[in-house]
Amino acid sequence: MTAVTIERVSRSFDSVHAVREVSLEIRDGEFFTLLGPSGCGKTTLLRMIAGFCELDAGTISFGGRRIDTLPPHRRNTGMVFQNYAIFPNFTVGGNVAYGLRARKMPATQIAQRVETALKLVHLDGYDARWPHQLSGGQLQRVAIARALVIEPEVLLLDEPLSNLDAQLRVEMRGEIRQLQQSLGITAIYVTHDQEEALAISDRIAVMRAGTLEQVGKPEAIYRDSATPFVAEFMGVTNLLSGNVTRREDAHVVIEVAGTEFHMEGSLSATGPAVAFCLRPEALRVIAPGDVVPAGWTSLEARLVRVEFLGALTRLETRIAEGATLRVALLDQPLDALSPGCVLTLAYDPRRTTPFKTS
């Protein structure tokens, strides 16, 4: 296993700053994900680690050994590309063996390693098949086997599932995570898919315009987003801002568009503007006659739209002065609700996330 240290790494293309002084510590055996929208610099950073893109500044080390001055073939990384990069004129076995042959390994050892790698990705007996005979998921398994067969210190994956259909993506991401855990290998994974990142990562770095917005465990990235950008990028949410009016016990009361919201926190002064996030699933519809859970806060909102998504139902509501408040409900009967009715919504003040002010 190998830790990866990235110190103040930068890269520009003409006037475009693709990566700006990024520093990261990726632990031994960690599944670390670089997440962000297109153009945020995540793939450029991955390619710098692999050696396919030079650094303008900074250093990259594996286990304390500096590698950014080495050519790609001496860094001992395995790379899985978005478009598979499978050679059509080689069989499956030939594709997997390619890196070993380039290292001039004995034929008997190559055969053993290829067999082992194909077993790891559940392609036993596929070595004689040709790429055109395989499905997209099988081609991606071949690409993973080819990356693993050289026994790399670090596995790099650049949006490896983006060309697969939705169901296969879910299956393959689970297989990749299970394989990484069984091998104990350090993996750096690039994706723009928030759900994918949350499902498989030990930690996530959210990138924006070449910089790091937040680094943390999936739960922290989602539930305690550091900035409005992270909160919104990680899924549908309510971004709210208002003025502190008073304190009630352990709660700060904030007025937003004529409606009071409660937040658990240490803010003491009244008057200053506060921005915060309240996830739609943190809100619950309280039916007439039902009791608001102890310690929770309630408010009234007018229903504007209902969107039924199977197990999940999304509501769009309006609070006092017309501001939108989104609600997400899991398997809650809503037959009696129709646009225009007034709802009582409740939430736990601990589920509100204030944003840090600069």
In CATH, what number is assigned to the domain containing residue 348?
2.40.50.140
Question: 163 and 195: one domain?
Answer: yes
Question: 218 and 192: one domain?
Answer: yes
Average pLDDT over the chain, rounded to an integer? 93
End-to-end CA distance of the chain: 38
| Region for 101 from its dihedrals, namely left if φ exceeds 0, alpha if ψ lies in -120 to 50, beta otherwise | alpha
Number of domains in the chain: 2
Question: 297 and 328: one domain?
Answer: yes
Q: What is the pLDDT of residues 125-164, one digit of tens each?
A: 999 999 999 999 999 999 999 999 999 999 999 999 988 8
Question: 184 and 71: one domain?
Answer: yes
Point out which residues pair with 251 in neighbouring strands. 248, 264
Q: What is the pLDDT of residues 280-314, one digit of tens each?
A: 999 999 988 899 999 999 999 999 999 988 889 99
| 343 contacts: CB under 8 Å, gap ≥ 6 | 285, 286, 300, 301, 302, 303, 315, 317, 337
Closest CA to 208 of 22, 13, 12, 2: 22
Type of residue numbered 170: V
| 46 contacts: CB under 8 Å, gap ≥ 6 | 34, 156, 158, 188, 190
CATH number of the domain bearing residue 50: 3.40.50.300
Higher pLDDT, 194 or 321: 194
Look at residues 233, 259, 282 and tell me which one is the last residue of a structural domain: 233
Taking residues 334-344, report their average pLDDT: 84
Type of residue numbered 217: K
CB atoms within 10 A of CB 136: 14
Provide the percentage of residues in the chain whose pLDDT is more than 90.
83
CB 289 within 8 A of CB 358: no
Closest CA to 147 of 98, 109, 83: 98
Taking residues 313-329, report their average pLDDT: 93
pLDDT band at 57 (very low <50, low <70, confident <90, very high): very high
DSSP one-letter code for 72: G
CB 79 within 8 A of CB 148: no
Strand pairing report for 342-347 and 352-354: unpaired
For residue 181, what pLDDT is reported? Answer: 95
Range of 271's domain?
Answer: 238-354
Question: 217 and 71: one domain?
Answer: yes
Look at residues 205, 233, 261 and tell me which one is the last residue of a structural domain: 233
HSE value, Cβ hemisphere, 13 Å, CA-based, for 287: 7
Q: What is the pLDDT of residues 184-231, one digit of tens each?
A: 999 999 999 999 999 999 999 999 999 999 999 999 999 999 999 999
Taking residues 265-283, report their average pLDDT: 83
For residue 270, what pLDDT is reported? Answer: 65
Question: 209 and 343: one domain?
Answer: no
CB 42 within 8 A of CB 190: yes
Question: 167 and 187: one domain?
Answer: yes
Q: What phi, psi does 200 have (nearest 5°)?
A: -120, -5
Q: What is the pLDDT of residues 222-267, one digit of tens each?
A: 999 999 999 999 999 999 999 999 888 788 999 999 999 999 876 6
For residue 357, what pLDDT is reported? Answer: 59
Closest CA to 221 of 208, 232, 231, 211: 231
Look at residues 184, 206, 233 and tell me which one is the last residue of a structural domain: 233
**Burial class of 351 by CB neighbour count within 10 A (0 to 12, 13 to 18, 19+):** middle
Question: 277 and 171: one domain?
Answer: no
For residue 268, what pLDDT is reported? Answer: 57
Cα–Cα distance measured from residue 146 to residue 78, given in angstroms and rounded to the nearest whole number: 8
pLDDT band at 269 (very low <50, low <70, confident <90, very high): low
Rg value, the chain, Cα: 25
- CA distances in angstroms from 87 to 146, 160, 296, 336, listed in the order given: 11, 16, 59, 59
Tokens coding 78: 């395995």
Taking residues 50-56, report their average pLDDT: 96
CB 138 within 8 A of CB 86: no
Question: 185 and 85: one domain?
Answer: yes
Tokens coding 75: 């860094």
Question: 176 and 251: one domain?
Answer: no
For residue 175, what pLDDT is reported? Answer: 93
